Chain A
Amino acid sequence: MTPELNLSRDPAHLRHGSTIGQPLSRIDGLAKVTGRARYAADNNPSGMLYAVLAVSSIARGRVVSLDVDAAKAHPGVVAVMTSANRPPLQADPDGKPNPFAFRFEALQNDRVRYANQPIAVVIAESLEAATEGAALLAPRYQAEPARIGLDTGEAYVPPVVGMGFPAESHHGDAAAALAGSDKRITATYETPAHYHNAMEPHAIVAEWQGDRLIIDTPTQGLVMMRARLAELFGIAPENILIRSPYLGGGFGGKGLMAGAQVLGILAAKLVDRPVKLVARREQLYGPFGHRSPTRQTLKLGANAAGQLSAIHHHARIATSSFEDFYEAAAHVTHTLYAAPAISTTYDAVRMDTGTPLFVRAPGIAPGSIALESAVDEMAEACGLDPLAFRVKNYAEVEPATGKPFSSKALRDCYTQGAERFGWWERPLKPRTMRDKDGFLVGWGMGTATFHALMFAGQARAVIRRNGSGVVESGAHDMGQGAWTAFAQIAADALALDLDQVTFKAGTSDLPDAGIAGGSAHTATVGTAIHNAGAAVITKLAELATSDQRSPLFGAGNAGVIARNGRLLRRDDEGRGESYAEILARAGLDEVEGSGAGMPDPAANEHYAMHSHGAVFAEVKVDPDLGQVRVTRMIGAFAAGRIINPKLVRSQLIGGMIWGVSLALHEEAIIDHRSGRIMNANLGEYHVPVNADIPAIETFTVNEHDPFVNPLGIKGVGEIGITGSAGAVANAVAHATGIRVRRFPVRISDLVPPVS
C-alpha cells in the first residue's frame, strides 16, 4: 500500500470543498496590518542590551586603530567587541565546510575586505549609547587601492557558476554555426550591482541560557542556519532554537547565515546578557550579499527565414576577493530558444565588495534582460515581429539537453497574453507609435522562465482524538504567504477544513523545511505536507479497515477515501466513519505521520522542469526629454498547479515590478576609487514608486504537470522578474528606436541632442 494511493492519484484539489486553489487572504494578514505580528527585532527579552555594528569606510586594507577607550567611557556602553576580545569560535569563519557555508567576517583579524564590513561591535544599555559608542571608535586605517568594476584585475574562468553549474558548456558548435549564419548580431549588455533592500533589515536577538542558545532572527533557512551555528559555537544543534515566524522580505538576502548574525550571538556571549543587533539601512549594503554586476555579450545567428542557428551567451561577472559566488547569468540561454548550437561561457573578476549572493531570480534576472533584448535585436534584423520570432524558435524540448519538458504551456501564455494585450496591432518599425499627446509609445515583450526546483523538506501531521489536525514544518514566511498556502495544502492533505487544522512553522525545532528559495518552497514543503497527510490517513485507514467493528472493515486501504474528516468506502460512500470515531475506538489520543518532499531523480533525469510566461509591456517616452513611463503590463504565466491564486497574483505582480526596476531604476552606484556605495539608502537607490507602476494584469494558464511533484507545483516567487525586465527594455527600444544596452535605462540614454 502506498501513501499516495488515497490522495495523489485522486488529487486532493479535486475533492469537493478543496481548500487548494482558493484565493484565500493571508491568515497572518490581520496580525501584520495591526502590528501584532512580531518580527525578530520586536523581541526584547529582559536584561537585553543593544549592539551596534561599527563598519569600515574603506574597501581594502587594515584597521590600524580603534579608540576603544573613548567608546567604553561613554555612559551606557557596556562593552566593545573587537578582534582583540571577541569570544572564540569553534570553526574558522574563513573555513569552507560546505558550499553553502560562505566565508564571513566575525572580527577574526584586522583585515578589511570591503566597505561597510563590520570592524567592531559596541554593546550598551541603549541603542543611542551603542550608536554613539560606535561613532567614538574613530577607526584609522591603512588603506590599499580598492579593486572595483568589471575590468579590475585579471579575469579568470570561475570553477563553477551558480549552484555548481559548469562555467563553460557547449551544445553543438556555436562558433561554426554563427559563421555560417545568414544573419548575425553581437551585442553587449550591462547590469549593475543590485542590493536586496528588504524592508526589514537583518536583525538578531540572541540569548544564551548556559550552553543553550535562543535566537530571534529572520532567515530563509532555519535548519541550515542552525547547523552552521552549531558548528561555529561547538554546541549540539538541538541546543539552538531559532525563531523566524515572519520575514519582512528575504529575496535571497536572508538565505544564508550572515556574519553579522554571528556577531550578535558573540556579543551576547561576551556580555552574558541577551543582545539585540539590528543593521542600519546603509549597513545592509555590504555584509549581506548583493547581485553581482554583469557584462553579457550575446552572439546570435539565424537563417534567412528567422530560424536561430546559434546562440553564444558570455557573461563577465564579479565575486569578492575572498569567496566564490558566480551569478549564473548566461544559463537562461540553455532553456529558452531552440537553437541547434548553444554555448555559454563565463569569466570573472574579484572585487573589493562583500560576497555576492542569490538575489531574487539569481542568474536568470540579469541573464533574461540580456537574452530578451538580444532576441528582439535578432527579430528586428530578420524583419520579424518579436513574438512571431519567438514562436518560430519555440523550444519543444530543452535546447541545451534535448530533454522533453515535464510541462510547458508557454504557447498558451504567448497566445492569451498577446490577445489580451492587443499585441498583433503592433507596427514592426520602431518609433512609429504616438499617443494623442505626442508621446512615443512602444510595445515590448519578453519570455519568462524559471526552473521548477525542489529541495528536501519534511513535515509531520497529526490527527487528534477530536478529529482535528496539526501539521508542522519549519517553513519560512517571507511575506510570500507561506503560512496560508501551506495551511491550505495541510487542510487538503488531511481532508479537513482549514479551520480544523493547526499549521505550525517558523522555528528550528520543527521538521526541516529546507531553504525558502529557488521558488521551490511551496513545491518542497507542500509535497512534504501532502505526504505527511497521506501517511497519517493511511494509518487511520489501517486502524479502520482492520477492525471488525468499523463500517470500513475489509475495504482495504485502496478502497478508502478521506473527505471532510471522515473515511469513506470508495465503492459505497454511504459507509464510513469520522476520524474521531476511529481514534476513540482504537483508544488512541492521536495518530502521527511524517512525509518528505524532495526531487525525484528519475523524473529529473528524464524531464526538463521549468515555469514559463510571457510578459507584454507598453511604455511611453517623452521624445524630447527622455523620461519613460510604463503604462501597461500584462503577464501570462504557466506555473503548474496554483495553490492560492491571490497569493500567486501578488508574487507575480511583485516580480514584474522588480522587472521594471531592473530595466529602469535599480543601480548601486559604487565609487570606483573608494569602493563605497554612494547611494546606500532608499532615497537614492531607486526602486519604482507607485507612479512608476501601471495597473498590472497577470493570469495563469492551465498547466498540469504530472512529473514535477505529486501536487504539480512549480513555483512563482521569481519568474515574474524574468521576461518583464526584457519586455520593458524592448518596449523602450520600440518606442524610441534607441537600443539601450546598459541598465537601468536612464534619461541620458534617451534625450536627443538638440537639432
Chain B
Amino acid sequence: MNRFDYVKPASVAEAIAAASAPGAAYLASGTNLLDLMKGNVVRPARLVDISHLTELTRIEHRENGDVRIGALVRNADLACDQSFARDFPAIAEALLSGASAQLRNAATVGGNLLQRTRCAYFFDPASGCNKRTPGAGCDAREGDNHQHAVLGWSEACIATNPSDFCVPLAAFDAVVEIEGPAGRREIALEALHLLPGSTPERETVLDPGEIIVAIRLPAEARAFARHARYLKVRERNSYAFAVVSAAAGLVIENGTISHARLALGGVAAKPWRAREAEALLAGQPAGPSAFQQAAAAALRDARPSGDNAHKIPLARSLIVRALAAAAQGTPSRMPALPASPFSSVPGVHQ
C-alpha cells in the first residue's frame, strides 16, 4: 500500500482545490476505489473524501421535467425513488441488476459512472496492462479474454466498461454535470468514456481535479417510459457482471416506432450507443423484422478480440429480445430479478 494523504473537504469548491494536486482521487463510497488500492492496482497520492458532501445527495425533479441526480445519491436510493423509477424504468432496472443489495446500498451513482474495468489482468499488478502501466503490454490479449470487448477495442486494450447503469444513461441522453478548476461544464454521458485507442490509460474526458456533481436526465427521455427495458445476460442469475447487456426504449404510435433508443453494455470500453440501429427502427412497425435489422446494424463492426466471438451473436439476440420486451411494454412492477432474461417474456422465439 502507498502512503497517501486523506482530506475531507467541506464543500465541492474545497474538494476541487484539494483534488487538483497531482495523483489525487475522489473517494465516494470506495466500493471500487478501495478494492483497487488494497490490491495495489491504483496508488493515489491523495484521497479527497467527498462522501459526506450532502449538497451532492439530492434527487431533484425539476419543473421542466428534467431529473437531476446528485453524484453521491446511492444506487439503491435512486432505483427506489418512486417517480424516478416510473419515469425511467430501464435505468432503475439497470441499477437493481448491478452488484448485490449491500453494494448498491453503499455505491454512489458518480462512482458507478467512473468504476474501472473488471479485466482480471488490470486487477493483477503482476500482469502486464497498458491501462495500468502505459506501454507494459496487454496480458489479456493472449490470456483469458472470454469476457472482453468486441466493439471499439484496440491492439493496446480490449477491456470493457462494466457498468450497468451507464448503458441506459447513454441510451436516454443523460448529461453529466462536471465542476473543475476551470469551472463548470456539461457533457453527454455518451461522450464521458473514451475508447482505448493507443492510450487506454485515459478512460474518460475528465481533467485532473474535475468532479462529477450530478447526472441529468432530460425531460424528453420520459417519452420512453412505457416501452423501456434493460436486459442483462450473466453467468449466474444475480451478483454477476454482464456478459452482454442492452437498454432499449421505444415510442410506439399505432404499432409504428416513432423514436428508438438502444445501447449495449459489456461489449466495449464504453456504454455503446447504437445510433444507426436507432435510425433504422424509426418509422418501422414494432416487430421482429425491424428488431433483427437493428441488431444486425448494431453489431456490424463487431469483431472478437480473443476467445469471445460468442458475444456477437449474443448481443444481436439480446438486442432483439430487449426491443421486443420494450415493445411489449414496461412491466407494471419491477421484476423480482431485475434485467434477467427470465423476467422478460420473450415472445420472439423461433
B143 sits at the interface (CB 8 A): yes
> In the complex, are the beta carbons of B320 and A629 less than 8 A apart?
no
CA distance A665 to B318 in the complex (A): 22
Interface residue range, chain B: 35 or more
Question: A193 CB to closest chain B CB, in angstroms?
Answer: 13
> In the complex, are the beta carbons of B118 and A437 less than 8 A apart?
no
> In the complex, are the beta carbons of A665 and B313 less than 8 A apart?
no
CA distance A437 to B348 in the complex (A): 10
Contacting B126 at CB < 8 Å: which of A625, A674, A689, A692?
A674
CA distance A755 to B310 in the complex (A): 13
CA distance A135 to B37 in the complex (A): 12
Most B Cβ at <10 Å: residue of A57, A58, A676, A678: A678
**Residues 661-676 (chain A) with a chain B CB within 8 angstroms:** 664-665, 669, 671-674, 676
Question: A352 CB to closest chain B CB, in angstroms?
Answer: 15
> In the complex, are the beta carbons of A673 and B237 less than 8 A apart?
no
B127 sits at the interface (CB 8 A): yes
Contacting B127 at CB < 8 Å: which of A622, A625, A671?
A671
B198 sits at the interface (CB 8 A): no
**Residues 216-274 (chain B) with a chain A CB within 8 angstroms:** 233-240, 243
> In the complex, are the beta carbons of B313 and A686 less than 8 A apart?
no
A131 sits at the interface (CB 8 A): yes
Contacting B120 at CB < 8 Å: which of A132, A625, A627, A684?
A684
- Cβ proximity bits B109-127 to A, threshold 8 Å, 1 near / 0 not: 0000000001011001111
A33 sits at the interface (CB 8 A): no
A564 sits at the interface (CB 8 A): no
- Cβ proximity bits B332-350 to A, threshold 8 Å, 1 near / 0 not: 0000010011100111111
**Residues 300-350 (chain B) with a chain A CB within 8 angstroms:** 308, 310, 313-314, 316-318, 320-321, 337, 340-342, 345-350
- Cβ proximity bits B1-15 to A, threshold 8 Å, 1 near / 0 not: 100000000000000
> In the complex, are the beta carbons of B316 and A625 less than 8 A apart?
no
Contacting A686 at CB < 8 Å: which of B240, B296, B345?
B240
> In the complex, are the beta carbons of B349 and A438 less than 8 A apart?
yes
List residues of chain A with CB within 8 A of the CB of B199.
none
Contacting B239 at CB < 8 Å: which of A629, A689, A751, A752?
A689
> In the complex, are the beta carbons of B236 and A625 less than 8 A apart?
no
> In the complex, are the beta carbons of B127 and A674 less than 8 A apart?
yes
List residues of chain A with CB within 8 A of the CB of B348.
624
List residues of chain B with CB within 8 A of the CB of A753.
313
**Residues 617-666 (chain A) with a chain B CB within 8 angstroms:** 620, 622-627, 629, 664-665
List residues of chain A with CB within 8 A of the CB of B127.
671, 674, 676
Question: A149 CB to closest chain B CB, in angstroms?
Answer: 12
Assuming A624-B349, A625-B318, A748-B146, is B238 touching A691 (CB within 8 A)?
yes
CA distance A689 to B346 in the complex (A): 24
Question: B345 CB to closest chain A CB, in angstroms?
Answer: 5
> In the complex, are the beta carbons of B233 and A747 less than 8 A apart?
yes
> In the complex, are the beta carbons of B144 and A622 less than 8 A apart?
no
List residues of chain B with CB within 8 A of the CB of A439.
342, 346
Instruction: Determine the residue in chain A with the shortest Cβ distance to B342.
Output: A629
Subset of 29 A-B contacts with CB under 8 Å: A57-B125, A132-B1, A135-B40, A434-B349, A438-B345, A439-B346, A622-B342, A622-B346, A624-B317, A624-B321, A625-B233, A625-B341, A626-B314, A627-B341, A627-B342, A674-B139, A678-B124, A684-B120, A689-B237, A689-B239, A691-B337, A747-B233, A751-B310, A751-B313, A751-B314, A751-B317, A753-B313, A754-B316, A755-B350
Beyond the given pairs A625-B233, A689-B239, 17 more chain A to chain B contacts, judged by CB atoms under 8 angstroms and listed by A's residue number, are A57-B125, A438-B345, A622-B342, A624-B317, A624-B349, A626-B314, A671-B139, A672-B143, A673-B139, A674-B126, A674-B127, A678-B120, A686-B235, A686-B236, A689-B237, A747-B243, A754-B313
> Residues on B close to A: CB < 8 A?
1, 40, 118, 120-121, 124-127, 139, 142-144, 146, 233-240, 243, 295-296, 308, 310, 313-314, 316-318, 320-321, 337, 340-342, 345-350
- 4 smallest A-B Cβ distances: which pairs? A691-B238, A748-B310, A691-B237, A678-B120
